[in-house]
Amino acid sequence: MKNLNEIEEIFAAAGAEKRSSLSEPEVYRVLELAGLAAPKHALYPASGFDAAAAAADICSRLGGNKAVLKLVSFKTLHKTESGGVKVIERTPEAVEAALKTMAGKFPDAEAFMAAEFLPHSPFALGEELLLGARSDDAFGPVLTLGPGGTNAEALTRSLRRGLAPSVIPADLAFNSNIWAAFLAKSWIWQYVSGKVRGGRRLVKDGEMVKWLEGFAHLMRNFRDGGPSQWAIEEFEVNPLAAAGGRLTALDGVLRLRPARKAAPRGKPSQKGVSSLLHTQSAAVVGVSEKKMNMARIILNNIVKAGFPREKVYIIKEGAAEIDGVKCFASPSALPEKIDMYVVAVPSPEVPRVLAEAGDSGKVNGVVLISGGMGEKAGSEEMGRTVVQTILRAREKNPDFALSGGNSMGIVLNGVKINTFFIPEYKLEHPIGVNPYNAKTAFVSQSGAFVISTISKMPWLKPAYSITVGNQQDVTVPDYVERLADEDDLKVILVYLEGFKPGDGAALARVIAKARTNGKQVVLYKAGRTAVGQKAVMGHTASIAGDYLVARLIMENAGALVAETFDDFNDLAALACSFAGLEIKHGNTFFMSNAGFEAAGMADSIAGHIKAELDAATAAEMARTLKDFKLDSIVDAKNPLDITPMASDGAIGGVVKTALSSDEFSGAVVSMIPLTPAMNTLPKGGAWPDDLDKSFLKEAAQAARGAGKPLLFCVACGPKYEPYCAYAQGLGLPVFRSADRAVKMYGAYLNYVLGQPA
């Protein structure tokens, strides 16, 4: 862009007047200098205003039958709503009368502007767009494309998921292929490009790309840490009208401020992060000899998890050993370099403990359990001290890295280390391998979120359970970046509250990298509302950012974003169960022994999910129904209500037929367990049931043999928890309502197969 210097002068002139925004004529000039179209227009200062002379000049300058008159005022933000915009006939009489009315209504106006009228329909989708850009601490400059006009905000709020505005970080859009993919995913652009039924192309893609690139170029140059003294805080054109085969700005807002010098984050080395993921030696600071304090619980959890005792050390003066683990007076006295140095001391002691670790040169990774390091009011100085201590430690050891503070700890199943400070009688040790689940990593800012999830889903045995706390050094993207390269890892679960500067774009890049490497990423982003953002700030002292922007960017990067905690748990269960399978299509077999569930599953079918049944498969299912004398009361169909009279044999036979057929990619089976025809209670009670005689074992084997998903649902009360646990022990994801099972499976299929057209 050749005219950046002139744009800089416009910004400087506004700054000299202590203005934080440009007038609309100034915005038009910036657009013109950027090679983007603004309407023909003329400006008439309010001082010494002559309505008759202005009207004559307007009629001579502008063509067409109509003209647009606009108020120019920094005091009136919403011109249309206040009567500061008039579309009138382009005659001297009409223009003069309108100018006099406007001048009388707005005596404090700076000026009045006349602009050409571009014929288009503001009520036809696609003819008015909103193109916006804003500065974002987490993502850098971000561009937004959505429906425009006076109702843009209300329309956007009312749209269902999938029809939100399209969002892209300018820093991630660096070639024409990326812009093409961005437009292909934009639902509003389908209307502009004539790709909806009965539609017609209004402008070519190249015209839109020119605008996107122009906005991106401006935002990259006028940003914090950029080449200019000024940063664009917000830039919006609404409406951007599609008329006459081109796009033209009909209104514009640009807010600016002095640019801040952005200091790059001191990112930890890959080796430093890897030492926390592949630990071979560990030490604990803060262990008490006299009581079972937090550090001593951690020490015992490390040893009981199976980590080699000879590779565990305690930093403590005046003691030889505690609980059979050797003590050393200081980190400098340690016999080897430590991969994981766990610090659980009162917060006032943290700077000293970290400084000693850094000065020793014998510590790579620190897990800082201690809180009060900037996440609460009044502790900001302590947080800054910790960061400075980390940077000084890196001068001696470039691989010094700190995870936390306010961390719950780290659990690594591969090397059998557990540094959670939860006693074993409160939480079963999260050590072990589920043979039916894909290898999984769980990275969370909140430690409580991890232990709550694992407690509710005891079958979940992540290879890595990492709680990051307030990200004073190592951040969530740093961990995900290293995990994205783990060859046999299939699933990465992420709970995120806030970003450090630039980390939003960094996380998007590493999620895209993980997806390219064949991994599935399930993410929950907290801080969706103003109240939610305040709660996040109180917890982690990280920047929450705008939820919609974060969600859209993460989804585009390749994350499966959960809207609720329950959604996260269910989607995590599906990913952990099915990430190793190749799901080719969405035609699914549905079965229940209750009519209401069969109807509910049918009502929940959407997106990629289909419920088709060909004659050959139906005939084979019918033979099973006949063998079990059910053919007189039920027909083979999909969804199938097999009735409460069906035994485990009948249910299992139908399920195996469905799973063996190429017609189906998977099955959802929901059984009301109260029927006496089925084995749904554990053996040994005052009943004839035996779970080993249920259809579940053979059905799970059939699903694994076919390499297909099988979801199970038990829509009854706590008496049937053993039935659910039995199914989970066979590797089946279990739901407690059939319609939710179908809904969540649909969301998962949309992720795996791509959003349906």
**Per-residue pLDDT tens for 151-165?**
666 666 655 666 678
Position with higher pLDDT, 198 vs 574: 574
- Amino acid 547 reads Y
Q: How many CB atoms lie within 10 A of CB 671?
A: 30
Tokens coding 273 = 């992060």
| Secondary structure class of 130 (helix, strand, coil) | strand
pLDDT for residue 160: 60
Q: Taking Cα atoms as reference points, which of 493, 396, 452, 11 lies closest to residue 226?
A: 11
Q: How many CB atoms lie within 10 A of CB 606?
A: 14
| Secondary structure class of 495 (helix, strand, coil) | strand
Q: How far apart are CA 366 and CA 340, in angstroms?
A: 6
Residue range 133-159: mean pLDDT, rounded:
80
pLDDT for residue 533: 41
| Secondary structure class of 657 (helix, strand, coil) | helix
Please provide the average confidence, as pLDDT, over all residues in the chain. 91
Q: How far apart are CA 215 and CA 13, in angstroms?
A: 21
37, pLDDT greater than 60: yes
754, pLDDT greater than 80: yes
Residue range 183-197: mean pLDDT, rounded:
91
37 burial class (0-12, 13-18, 19+ CB within 10 angstroms)? middle
Asked if residue 639 has a cis previous peptide bond (ω within 30° of 0), the answer is: yes
Asked if residue 162 has a cis previous peptide bond (ω within 30° of 0), the answer is: no
> Where residue 427 falls among pLDDT bands split at 50, 70, 90?
confident
Query: By mean pLDDT, which of 20-34, 200-214, 423-437 is the weakest?
Result: 423-437
**Do 433-579 and 588-753 fold alike per CATH?**
yes
Q: How many residues does the chain have?
A: 757
Q: What is the CATH number assigned to the segment(s) 588-753?
A: 3.40.50.261
> Where residue 539 falls among pLDDT bands split at 50, 70, 90?
very low
Is the distance from CB of 216 to CB of 226 less than 8 angstroms?
Answer: no
pLDDT for residue 338: 98
Cα 352 to Cα 356, 360, 444, distances in angstroms: 6, 12, 27
pTM as predicted: 0.90
Pairing of strands 440-444, 464-467: parallel
Q: How many CB atoms lie within 10 A of CB 82?
A: 13
Is the distance from CB of 550 to CB of 507 less than 8 angstroms?
Answer: no
Residues 6 or more apart from 606 whose CB is under 8 A from it?
746
Tokens coding 378 = 């009044």
Read off the DSSP letter of residue 264: P
Residue range 397-410: mean pLDDT, rounded:
95
Q: What is the CATH number assigned to the segment(s) 433-579?
A: 3.40.50.261
Q: Which CATH superfamily is domain 264-407 in?
A: NAD(P)-binding Rossmann-like Domain (3.40.50.720)
Work out whether the CA dihedral 249, 255, 257, 260 comes out positive or negative.
negative
**Per-residue pLDDT tens for 489-498?**
999 999 999 8
Residue range 644-668: mean pLDDT, rounded:
97
| Secondary structure class of 630 (helix, strand, coil) | coil
Q: Which CATH superfamily is domain 128-258 in?
A: ATP-grasp fold, B domain (3.30.470.20)
**Per-residue pLDDT tens for 688-716?**
999 999 999 999 999 999 999 999 999 99
214 phi, psi to nearest 5 deg: -65, -45
532 burial class (0-12, 13-18, 19+ CB within 10 angstroms)? middle
Tokens coding 349 = 């002691």
Q: Which CATH superfamily is domain 4-116 in?
A: ATP-grasp fold, A domain (3.30.1490.20)
Q: How far apart are CA 349 and CA 286, in angstroms?
A: 10
> Where residue 149 falls among pLDDT bands split at 50, 70, 90?
confident
**Per-residue pLDDT tens for 572-605?**
999 999 999 999 999 999 999 999 999 999 999 9
Is the distance from CB of 493 to CB of 441 less than 8 angstroms?
Answer: yes
Residue carrying the six token digits 């053996």: 683
356 phi, psi to nearest 5 deg: -65, -40
Q: How far apart are CA 612 and CA 150, in angstroms?
A: 44
pLDDT for residue 265: 80
Q: How far apart are CA 615 and CA 623, in angstroms?
A: 12
**Per-residue pLDDT tens for 254-297?**
999 999 987 778 899 999 999 999 999 999 999 999 999 999 99
Pairing of strands 417-418, 282-285: unpaired
Q: How far apart are CA 354 and CA 331, in angstroms?
A: 10
- Taking the chain, what is the end-to-end CA distance rounded to the nearest angstrom? 37
Q: Domains of the chain: which residue ranges? A: 4-116, 128-258, 264-407, 433-579, 588-753
Is the distance from CB of 660 to CB of 731 less than 8 angstroms?
Answer: no
Q: How far apart are CA 131 and CA 212, in angstroms?
A: 8
Residue range 202-217: mean pLDDT, rounded:
95
